[in-house]
Structure 1
Amino acid sequence: MAQLRDVEIEIREETIEGGLEKAMASYQHFLEETPESGMTPEAIRRLADLKVEKEYGYIQGASEMAPPEREQVAPVQQVSKEKNSGGEAAGLTATPGAQESEREFEKRATAATPMATMNTAPAAKLPGGVDADLERAGALEAIELYKQLLAKYPLYQRNDQVLYQMSRAYEELGKVEDAMQVMNRIITEYPRSRYMDEVQFRRAEYFFTRSRFLDAEDAYQAIVDMGVSSSYYELALDKLGWVFYKQELYEDALHKFIAGLDYKVSVGYDFEQTSNKTEKKRIDDTFRVISLSFSNQGGAASVTDYFDRFGHRPYEAEVYSHLGEHYLTKRRYSDAASAYKAFVELNPLHRKSPHFHMRVTEIYKEGGFPKLVVEAKKEFARVYGLDAEYWQHYEMANQPKVVGYLKTNLKDLANHYHALYQDKRFVKEKAANYSDGLLWYREFLSSFPKDEESPVISYQLADLLLENESYGDAALEYERTAYDYPEHEKASEAGYAAVYAYRQHLKVVPQAQRGRVKRDTVRSSLRFVDIFPRHEKASVVLGAAADDLYEMKDFEGAVGAGRKLIADYPQADQPVLRSAWIAVAHASFDLNNYIDAEEAYSAVLRLTEGEDKSRSGFVDNLAASIYKQGEQANTLEEYRTAASHFLRIAVAAPTSKIRPTAEYEASVALITLEDWTAAGDVLVDFRKRYPEHELQPEVTNKLAYVYKEAGQLSLAAAEYERVETESSDDEVRRGALMLAAELYEEAGDTDRTLQVYRRYVEYFLRPVELALETRFKIATIYKERSENDLYLSELKAIVAIDAAADSERTDRTRYLAATSALVLAEPFYSRFSKIRIIKPIEKNMKAKQKSMKAAIDQFAKLTDYEVGETTAAATFYMAEIYYDFARALIESERPQELSALEREQYELAIEDQAYPFENKAISVHEKNLELMGIGIYNEWIDKSIHKLASLVPVRYAKAEESTGFIPRLESFRYTLPGAVPESGEMAEGEQPAEAGDSEIEGGPDA
């Protein structure tokens, strides 16, 4: 024994031929050869067991037995290819038995579970006296052995096993009722038997197949009560659920089916595993009957209610999905979708929820509900878009199917609404379809900005915007398509489309925004040409950009773009090249690059047909570029060069409208050079060549100036007269006539001078001041020519015009009128001073008085002009009138018949009468002195001073003393001696007026 420790034992399987028979023979030999002992009943039992095993095959004890497999069924056949792909995409498994009806499923799922397999070994020899079917002799022999054992050894400790095997033998013989009696005996006599769960399961199956559901319920429940230690626990739960289901106690049934699933969870079963197909089939069967139960209770709502009431489970998703698939097999599409949607609504963040949502879409598609398909896709995009909360809990890299479906979903939605927008049948929905199309296109691009499909989606989005005439947004999207993605086949077309969209936008954009859009158009155009220079439309786009740059006043940009086109696309169509040259020409002109402009305009003309209506305009532009070169030379004071440029227009652009102006400017430049001969020649030629030109008046003016400067005064004056006749501008006409008159006067041609002045006052009554000045000149000429009547006539006209001028009176008009009025008043003084008081004294006295009054009135009116010189003159003359009247009285002829006394008295009376007038004369002369106090001094004041010196030598014939400032001159009143009322009669009691009583009024400045 000790040496066995060092022996290496080789353990290997050996096939023993006839081993079962040898074992049976051994037990039989033992029973026959050995005396009865404690081992005898064990040997009998084992011998009986071996007989049963040999006959039918032997299943180990219940604790070692595994539940038998069920029938394998075909997997679900998908309704359509779309469904198959959709289910797989959603992570769903096929529903077992989808092809079999519910009745077939129920029959298969509730079929009695086979407990053993048959054995083909030959039967043992029957004991003597046993009359039985030889094919069943083994079982019968075993039963007889079991009965002998039970009878002879009632206290054998394994009699429960004996009974168990006896019941098996009866079952194999088809004696089910006998088997049930034996199993009932086990239940009664051996409640703790290790075979109790199998026995109860066999009994339950017996009752179930005979629709004795209450008995079946008790039997199955007994196994369930044993707990998970029983290998029949799961089967019992399942069959117990079916017991309730068959009685339409669906909620009770659900409790058991759910309990079965709970058990699988507890042992770590993976509901998504597919390796153990047998186990997977059992689980799918359970989910199917659960689906049937919930369907009978009201569908998805009952599922939600169940888990709310009895607690949620980790496999709820499978419950909802199997229910959905159950409905789908029955083409109950709405219910199928509702099942999936119910779970999604309750568990939007569950890992499987997006897959369920995908399945909803596929169900609607399979059912032929396009509107619901669209709504489902929209809901999916809303709930599982990449910015949704769902992705805060999951990594996109771990959900490739969801992300892929989202991408496809967004593209489908965008294309769907785009197609509806284009469909003329949906005009009323056009705006809504447009908005939805935009939404989903943009959602795709924001979610998958770098996806390989994004350029195409971006292009389609831009197309939609363009179709809706949203040109600005379309242009931006086309630009993104063209430039924001790696190179792709749509890039160049998108770049060109962007330019097109911008140009369409320009046609409709409000004026206030045109500048911005124009800049965007140019920017996009130049970018397009830079990136896609070989595009067939590149030259056209570049040409249009050059035009735009010019219109935007980006002249340097216009020149650059135009010259780039000319240099890079020399083979472009002639209209395109011509347009580029036009842009270069115009922009160069506006940049003051007139030499370049001249070159460009010359190129434009070479590319312009002779009958082209625009040709004349470009001829003018060419002339203008040369003209501007002349102006630049003028600015630099290079007048000879300027004249040359102006004059060469006649050669470069002879038909240009600007040619006359240029030749005129040439004359101006020559005048500046004081080249009077050349200037005159150009002007004379201009007058002949362009007789109707608007510059003819200016030419006349210039010729007049040229002749004047050349010393040809009469010719100059004649030109100024022509200026007056040609011009419609009164200011020009006035000036021309004045110049003409002055030139004639300077040339000594008085007649022509007077003739021009007369024309002036005839044509130009206003301004009054200038008209009176001219009339005064006319009067002066008449005076110099001693044409006194005409002279006085002009003076009277001056006075009258000033008097009627009202608000147009000026200081100058008053002065001229006052001066003229003074001349007109002086004859009154002359006539007055010539009248002597001689016989007939009374007659001459009245004549003297009348003349005196008339003269005083005339000179008093002069004070109204408020002109210092004429006021002083009037004051002087009025003083002289008083003094003359005094002297006339004293020197008057005396009556001859007076006596000496009378004569003496007469002389005294005369002196008394003369003295007040002499005093008045002094007083009035002193008024002139007061004018000096307000800053007025002239010859008339000087005369008054000299007169006062002779009249009052004591006071005035001495050194001058200041009397201080006199703020104003008081009014004065003079009366004529002997003045009587106009009726010639004196009122009663009235005395003859004293000298000075007659009123002669003067204003404050008199």
Structure 2
Amino acid sequence: MLVRSRLGLALSVAALCLAPELAHAAPDKGKPVVQEPTTTVTPPPSGSTVRAAAEKTIDAKPAQKPGAAKRAQQGAGASSLTGAGGRPVNGPKIPDALRAQLQKQLEARIDRDVAQIRQLRAEAIGLLTTFVAETPREAREMPEAMLRLGELKWELEREQFVDRFKAWEAKPVDQRGPVPEPNFQPSRDLFARVLKDYPWFGQYDLALYIDGFLAYEQGKQDEALARFDRILKEHPNSRFVPDAHMARAEALFNGKYDYAGALAEYEKVLQHKNSELYGLAMFKSAWCLWRLGRGSEAAKRFVAVFEITDSEGKKVNAVQQKQLDELQSEALKYLVEVFTEDEKNTAQDVYGFLTKIGGDRFAGKVVRALAVQFYDQAHYDRGIEAYELLLKLEPASSDAGKWVLAIAQGYNAVEDWPKLRATYERAVTGYTAGSAWAKTQGDPRVVADTSNEIEKQLKEHALQLHAKAQKDKTSRAEFEGAAGLYTVYLSKFSGETGAYQVQYYLAEIYFYRLDKPTDAATHYMAAARAIPNAAAEKEPLKSLRHDAIYNAIAALERVRFAELEARKKLPQGSAFQETEADKKFAEALDLYAQLYPNDPALPELFFRQGRQYYDYGVYDSAVKIWGSLLEKFPRSQYALSAGELILDSFNRAKNYENIETWARRLKTAPAFAGEANQKKLDTLIVQAVFKQGEQKSQAGDHLGAAKAYLRAAKEFPKDPRAAQACVNAELAAQKAGDHQTLKEAAQLVTGKDYRDRPESPQGAWIAATTFQSMGLFAESADFHEAIAGLSDKDHPHYQRFEHSKDAAFNAVVLRVATGEHDKAIANGNRYLQSHGSSSDADEVVFQMGKAHQNAGRNKEAADLYRRYVARSKNQDHRVQGYVLLALALVKNGEEKAADDALRSAVDIGKHRKGELGPDGKYAAARARYLEGERVLARFDAIQITGDVKQLSQRLKQKAELLKQASNVFLDVVSLGVAEWTTAALYQIGRTYETFAKALHDSPAPSGLSDADKEQYQMQIDEFVVPIEERSLDAYENGWRKAIELGIYNQWTAQMRTALGRLNAELYPPFKETGFEVRSQGPMPLPALLDGPRRGASADKPTTKPAPAPAIAPAPAPAKPGAMAPDDDEPKKSEEPKEPKEPKPPKKRAPAKAPKKGSK
């Protein structure tokens, strides 16, 4: 009984060590199990018209887990070794047929024995239970009966636990509950009664040992150690003393990591050399020594196991070497057993230990054996770690690909589908032809064989998982896992023979199980295309290809049905675009028609599918399908109806580009060969082009709209809407900012083909005002001139055009602005001839004067300016006219008349100041400034050198003129115009400074002695110093005034430079202090064409937005007395004037087209 108990204990240890590893893939028992969504076959929609072929059943055997065959062999009673004592069995080989027959007989015998054992065990449990219940407590046989009954119940629970675990494991991963656990409590209750009530029992130590072992298995380590401590204390001579010390050592080693304490216990086990635990204690003591840092001692103990094979292997003959190899193999197995016994030991731990003791030369062999052993024990997670370590140790090994496949087998065994897929992705990218690993292999056959093995195993696992999912029926995770494996396979082996089958199976999962009809259709179509045409002529591939395409159509119809139903819920009038499903559906239909052109159901199928789109308002797709029907089956009974519906769809559809394209194509279709249909199509093309323009314009694609309208106008010039198309093209190009297209359309609408159309003047006006607002004055003037030139009785639409006079006016202004003087004058004469009595005639006269002046014809300019200032009512414009008149007269040599013109401008500025706006005040201040310059011109004309007797008179004259100029410039300051205020202040200081310098640098009269010369120079210096002081005062006052007004321009810069020159101590030069003065106005520059207008009062808006530029101020020239030639020809040194606020346009144009001067 004792022997049987010990044997049962050993078997239970193996079973319980195996159970946790088998259960590691199960959910945590302490957490609620999350049920994944189940999967069912997705039915077709109720409105479906295509019935897909039934789902195909996968015929694949379940995958065998790694090590399963070996575990079955060991469970049948076979030793893991090859013979008694671990020695290989030598002798004649049993034939395979006989071996199979004997195996069946042996299995039958085992089944009978197991059944008999169960029967006998049940009888024994019943008898012992009755004995314990009926026998007095004091009976001598009672403790032994309880002990035996506890052992039998222990064996029964072990067996029932295995059955429960198998049932749990058979369920899909996502449907398993908590992992089952063994219940040893009934046995322990019996052992507890023995230990409590029968201390005199002869096998009391056995009861302590078994109860301690079961307590350990229940996780009650403290109770277990208490039992083993009692064995050592109360039964020091018990045969279980080594076991008790081993248990204590293991608790210290694994639970508390007390390696010193564990080593002491292992040493006590080693005192029992005949114990079965002696070898294990030797290994574990070595581990303790290693953990304690006593590496040399650990190495000695560990290497002692291998020292025979390691030391004597070099001294023996071949026969002895063979025996040593066998012994080394056994030692390796034993070493692996030791490493795998501790679940905390990983392959990396083993490798680190072997490296530490100098055994790294056989580390690869140990890790290989360790990986195999882990798999044999169903410790798949630790086996995976071992194979991963092998890949790190020997990444270029020819077996590396096999190790990756072994990792995949492990994940497949634990049913971790995401990691299984990731492992295969790693395999196909890293261990096939072209990978970095493949480049390290010297033999290409290794790469080819590995690739073949990967392809084979990946396909097998995918098929097996697919078959399992179909068998389990409700596990979505399994179908997703199978789909993932198929996807990985196709990513690398899509070109393999038979890959079309994988495409088909993947499509089946997407279609029937995962509700991904779009993906399903993609793979159905790929399968159909991949089947060779020759093979598709015969079964079963003939049906497979047909089913693949038909199922693709069914899948896409399901998607389309859902999309069309969703479109019903959209607001009325929503634009429907062709979806990806629509495109794929048409592609599938085309392929089906290509492969099965004689199928009589095809025309009806095409027509019905197009009609479905039509009924839902998706006209583009309907037209596309019906177009294919007309092309493929032009004489079908459905062709006429399809053609009529296409024409109707053209009127309803919104994709007008597609309408135009198909209308042109249908002109060659037999169904539309009739004259009436041809005319309908021509009309439809024109309508489509116009609609394209409207649609693009509404969508913001103004450039596309402009191109479409322009194309219609060019292609169909006789169409009544052609001229309007030109106008529309201009408006769209205007919004798009494409002036080239706008110009092209405007030239077309003003050309001979369209100038007599009522839309032509509006088209010319749009181009003119648009180019004007863009600053393209020359182009704008061209179209203003075109309007003005066509405004005669031969062109009544232009003559009656509301903006014909505005165009004539703007033509003058724009030609002046662009410097085309002769054209400006010609336009002006035309305007005066047609509109001489209008209120804008004076403005035209003014512009003509500027054109003459800019062209150098100052006399003609002066005449026109005199006419202008005499007739103009606007005081601002009169002041500006007088200034320009003065400039023209100066160039013409009429000095007195120029002075009179300037005086008139100044008088208006002083006496009618309340009537002037900013432009008038600016011009008046400039006029006064120019008067001051003319005084300075006379001042400079008087030379200091000359007759000494008249020197005093000359100096007196210069002083008077200097004073007069200063008064004039101070008068400029009083007018309050910032630009000319700073200019005047600068001129005052500059004039004094130049006068003082001229005096100081003037040579002494000839004939004077040296003493007289010195006296003369002293008198000159006495006269110069006050003048220099006045110059400095003027500069300082001007600088402070500029700072006060916030004006920074060329005048303030020159004043600051002069201050630095005259008093560097107080005003160091800016550049030396890191500063620089630059011109800057306080407000932004005015708009290009928003200038002063003549012929209207200043307090009222102008009647036309003419682009006449404002009169620009001219700063003082370098040479005093010179006058700026013209506003339109500023000097390079001229700085920007103080800007004015832009004026509003004089006329508002209708909403349809922009007006003159508008922006």
TM-score w.r.t. length of structure 2: 0.30
- Greater RCO, 1 or 2 (C-alpha within 8 Å, sep 6+): 2
Q: Between Structure 1 and Structure 2, whose CA radius of gyration is higher?
A: 1
